[in-house]
Amino acid sequence: MTSIATEELTRYRMLIGGEHVDSVGGASFTSTDPYTERPWAEAPDGTADDVDAAVAAARAALSGPWGELTAARRGRILRRVGDLLEEHAERLARIETRDSGRLLSEMRSMAGYIPEWFYYYAGLADKIEGTTIPSDKPGFLVYTRLRAIGVVGAIVPWNSPLLLLAMKLAPALAAGCTVVVKPSDYTPASALEVADLLAEAGIPPGVVNVVTGFGPTAGRALAAHPGIDKITFTGSTRTGIDVAHSAADSLTRVSLELGGKSPQVVFADADLDAAANGIVAGVFAASGQNCMAGSRVIVHRDVHDALMTKVAERAAAITLGDPNDPATDMGPLANRTQLDRVLGYCASAREQGARVLYGGAQPDLGGFFVQPTVITGASPEMDVVREEVFGPVVAALPFDTESEAVALANDTPYGLAGAVWTKDVHRAHRVADRIDAGTVWINAYRALAPGVPFGGVKHSGIGRENGVEAIRQYTETKSVWVELTGESRDPFAR
């Protein structure tokens, strides 16, 4: 078993080569419940030696039974994975809430939807096709094949660990890869729980391995490992750059889903109630701990005050509390480091001359709570506008013209997501096209689906998760030339 429950802690073990093991060094660390501020789980503190063992197990599995399976058979196993995730969704949601502080209601919804990633890629597994290419040289048949890229290192963050793990595992397994997972040290539990369900579904030992531990040790060892063929990382831009540097020495391929500072552009003709709802969903859901949080509201000056008053009223009505309580609208931040970071941005906004319309403080609730915060009077150079806060903080900037709105939207090193709020269909498509982002919603925010590519431009990342496009991240193209005439082709014949 992955875990052993005691009165004090749930004790987890890593999964390497189908075996539940402790760290080679014997050390462990605890995961803290963000609501109670008490440790609730313990996991091994993985080392470079543990990463070596996991990569070796994944390499052996690649040339073992997993590598010999037909694509159709892989698809059937992935469908079984989806069924088991659906069956255990409630338990996984409760574990995720305990580990990350996210609302149980939100985690139930997310855990209930995660099986769709495995169903989608189960159907795609036997449709990973090459092409036949007309040759400009007579007497040749030329075709391509897509082959599994090999052993994948998947580094997963703490904000939505179950979902972000599924977004990596499902396409990697569909492509025929094997995987070594390094979950965040803040939220190690769900990856270990899911690994057991994968084994129960029929995925052979060593195909998916989980090494828990810290970024500077286990994470860096995985990113730099010469036995890894590809690294897929989700997390901060700063850490993503470190991962890319570590992978570069081995020319390991990388895909990076990184930070964001996403704009929500609201025009004067927008439905302000709908826009207020979108802003609330975009930045206060998940306590703002979301890479695609719509944390910059770029709003036409004519409706600026009316819209931001609506948003502030909504923020004031948000109920903070126990994430397991159905009456709670927003739970705590995931850890104390994040709490201090968010409060620091609120303080700097005040110091730099912005107005906090609502929030900006830590309520007297215990736990790692911060009030939902609405900031106006901001300017483009302020820290709260330039940098990713990763908390429930939204800053508003007024504009007068469409060109000014687009310029403000693109005035950021990031380019993950954005939104356009308007009733003018021509303007909606025109502005969506001009926003530099991997995803743009029109009159909506925060919709995702397994079949729709997701990822960023600029400092928000490299590559795409989800959709058919994600399969390309886990495959290599092989070109095959077949001589058809059967004749000898003497290269020196005159």
Q: Which residue has the tokens 């439905």?
A: 271
Quote the CA–CA distance of 334 and 33 in Å, as a whole number. 8
Residues contacting 161, CB < 8 A, separation 6+? 96, 99, 100, 183, 184, 187, 190, 191
Q: Is 67 exposed, middle or buried (0-12, 13-18, 19+ CB in 10 A)?
A: middle
Quote the CA–CA distance of 361 and 309 in Å, as a whole number. 19
Question: Which candidate, 329, 472, 467, 304, places its Cα nearest to that of 396?
Answer: 304
Quote the CA–CA distance of 64 and 58 in Å, as a whole number. 10
Q: Is 346 a catalytic residue?
A: no
Q: Which two tokens stand for residue 479?
A: 């070109």
CA distances in angstroms from 465 to 167, 195, 241, 314, listed in the order given: 6, 20, 18, 32
Helical residues (DSSP H) of 318-401, grouped into ranges: 336-351, 383-386
Quote the CA–CA distance of 432 and 409 in Å, as a whole number. 11
Question: Which candidate, 163, 7, 90, places its Cα nearest to that of 324?
Answer: 90
CA distances in angstroms from 299 to 313, 399, 454, listed in the order given: 17, 6, 25
Active-site residue, from 291, 346, 388, 465: 291
Amino acid identity at 470: A
Q: DSSP for 283-316?
A: HTGGGG--TT---EEEEETTTHHHHHHHHHHHHH
Q: Is 291 a catalytic residue?
A: yes
Q: Which residue has the tokens 């030339």?
A: 481
Active-site residue, from 257, 346, 388, 465: 257
Residues contacting 334, CB < 8 A, separation 6+? 34, 100, 101, 158, 159, 186, 187, 287, 289, 368
Q: DSSP for 461-477?
A: EES-BSHHHHHHTTEEE
Longest dimension (CA), the chain: 90
Give the catalytic positions in this structure.
257, 291
